[in-house]
């Protein structure tokens, strides 16, 4: 856990990291307390984020370097951009690699991904790409992945043999991804901002743990599957500036939802029925949406604090229950 924080999770929310560690079988309740007691990490009280002194972070990186000073592909974690380039372009990774984080300096060329670059990294749990571009897609990804954060993913689909079942965090911002698949059993976070080829959010009924679904600036998105309206743990649901979004769940029963936005979605015309009291929904943003009317069941949003309806040119009247919220 100390090494994972040093390499990947410094500055991340403790609650989110705990879920990842728990899924990895790390006993985080005890482990995090011990790391805090030993003054190896701290938690910022105002935001609940993990923190670590730079000297301790450097110590963690040196521990990993000494695991295999010469054979880079036998280190448990890779972070230095030249080492990562060598391992991925020469396909020298091994099953000892548990995590990779890529942050290239300005002016670096794209990585010429070897066709078998990930095949031997069967124990890979964390892959974070912050800014690298790749010449082609991977033909294999480890089924042990808990975090797949790949900006500018270079192809329209994930490898067909990747089962997704252990993923906790799935981020594909600015990517060419078009097809997602459906096997997201443990997923808590999905971020698909600026995926301009994505046309549909598929059946996510298996993703019962999903807490955040962030899908903004997706020019080709047309459809969101009905299952999204019945995810009990969903806290944040964001569709913003998706101009072609027209098919949306007909009903919402999202007991944990706090925030919902459909701003800048002019093709979104039919607001869903609200099933039961959604008392936790505090913020609803519909500015610039194409909605023609709001259902009477919107009165079930008994906890609503903010409702934005500016520039809803097709909306001619409001139900009286809105005035009573």
Looking at residue 109, its pLDDT comes to 84
For all residues of the chain together, what is the average pLDDT? 93
User: What per-residue string of b and e applies to 81-104 under the rule 16 or more CB within 10 Å gives b?
Assistant: beebbebbeebbbbebbbbbbbeb
Q: Does residue 43 form part of some domain?
A: yes
Confidence of residue 30 (pLDDT cuts 50, 70, 90): very high
Average pLDDT over residues 107-118: 86
Q: Does residue 58 form part of some domain?
A: no
Average pLDDT over residues 202-207: 94
How many domains is the chain built from? Answer: 1
Q: Does residue 37 form part of some domain?
A: yes
Looking at residue 137, its pLDDT comes to 82
Q: Does residue 30 form part of some domain?
A: yes
Residue 108 has pLDDT above 60, yes or no: yes
Looking at residue 115, its pLDDT comes to 73
- The 3-state secondary structure of the chain reads CHHHHHHHHCCCEHHHHHHHHHHCCCCHHHHHHHHHHCCCCEEECCCCEEECCHHHHHHHHHHHHCCCCCCHHHCCEECCHHHHHHHHHHCCCCCCCCEEEECCCCCCCCECCCCCCCCCCCCCCEEEECCCCECCCCCCCCCCCCEEEECCCCCCCCCCCCCCCCCCEEECCCCCCCCCCCCCCCCCEEECCCCCCCCEECCCCCCCCCCEEEEECCCCCCEECHHHHHCCCCCEEEEECCCCCCECCCEECCCCCCEEECCCCCCCCECCEECCCCCCCCEEECCCCCCCECCHHHHHCCCCCEEECCCCCCCCCCCHHHHHC
Q: Does residue 45 form part of some domain?
A: yes
Looking at residue 46, its pLDDT comes to 79
Q: Does residue 158 form part of some domain?
A: no
Which tens digits make up the pLDDT trace of 229-288? Answer: 999 999 999 999 999 999 999 999 999 999 999 999 999 999 999 998 899 999 999 999
Confidence of residue 150 (pLDDT cuts 50, 70, 90): very high
Q: Does residue 218 form part of some domain?
A: no
Which tens digits make up the pLDDT trace of 32-69? Answer: 999 999 999 999 987 799 999 999 999 999 999 999 99
Looking at residue 325, its pLDDT comes to 56
In the structure encoding, which two tokens stand for residue 104, read together?
């290239």
- Expressed as residue numbers, the domain containing 46 is 1-52
Q: Does residue 193 form part of some domain?
A: no
Q: Please name every residue paired with 293 in a beta bridge, in sequence order, or none if there are none.
A: 270
Looking at residue 323, its pLDDT comes to 59
Confidence of residue 106 (pLDDT cuts 50, 70, 90): confident
Which tens digits make up the pLDDT trace of 66-94? Answer: 999 999 999 999 999 999 999 999 999 99
Looking at residue 183, its pLDDT comes to 80
């Amino acid at each position: 856990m100390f090494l994972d924080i040093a390499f990947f999770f410094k500055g991340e929310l403790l609650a989110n990291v705990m879920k990842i560690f728990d899924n990895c079988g790390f006993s985080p309740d005890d482990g995090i307390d011990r790391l805090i007691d030993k003054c190896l990490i701290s938690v910022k009280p105002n935001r609940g984020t993990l923190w670590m002194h730079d000297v301790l972070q450097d110590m963690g990186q040196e521990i990993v370097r000494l695991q295999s000073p010469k054979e880079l592909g036998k280190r448990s974690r890779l972070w230095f951009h030249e080492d990562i380039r060598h391992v991925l372009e020469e396909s020298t990774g091994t099953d000892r690699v548990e995590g990779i984080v890529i942050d290239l300096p300005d002016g670096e060329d794209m990585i010429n991904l070897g066709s078998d670059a990930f095949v031997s990294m069967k124990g890979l749990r964390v892959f974070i790409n912050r800014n690298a571009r790749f010449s082609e897609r991977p033909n294999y990804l480890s089924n042990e992945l808990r975090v797949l954060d790949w900006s500018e993913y270079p192809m329209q689909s994930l490898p067909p043999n990747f089962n997704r079942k252990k993923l906790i965090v799935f981020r594909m911002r600015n990517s060419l991804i078009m097809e997602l698949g459906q096997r997201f059993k443990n997923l808590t976070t999905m971020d698909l901002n600026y995926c301009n080829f994505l046309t549909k959010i598929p059946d996510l009924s298996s993703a019962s743990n999903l807490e955040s679904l962030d899908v903004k600036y997706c020019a080709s998105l047309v459809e969101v599957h009905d299952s999204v309206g019945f995810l009990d743990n969903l806290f944040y649901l964001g569709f913003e500036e998706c101009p072609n979004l027209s098919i949306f769940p007909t009903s919402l029963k999202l007991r944990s939802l706090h925030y919902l936005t459909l701003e800048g979605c002019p093709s979104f015309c039919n607001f869903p029925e609200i099933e039961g009291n959604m008392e936790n929904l505090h913020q609803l943003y519909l500015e610039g949406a194409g909605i023609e009317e709001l259902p009477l069941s919107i009165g079930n949003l008994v906890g609503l604090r903010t409702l934005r309806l500016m520039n809803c040119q097709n909306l001619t009247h409001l139900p009286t229950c809105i005035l009573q919220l």
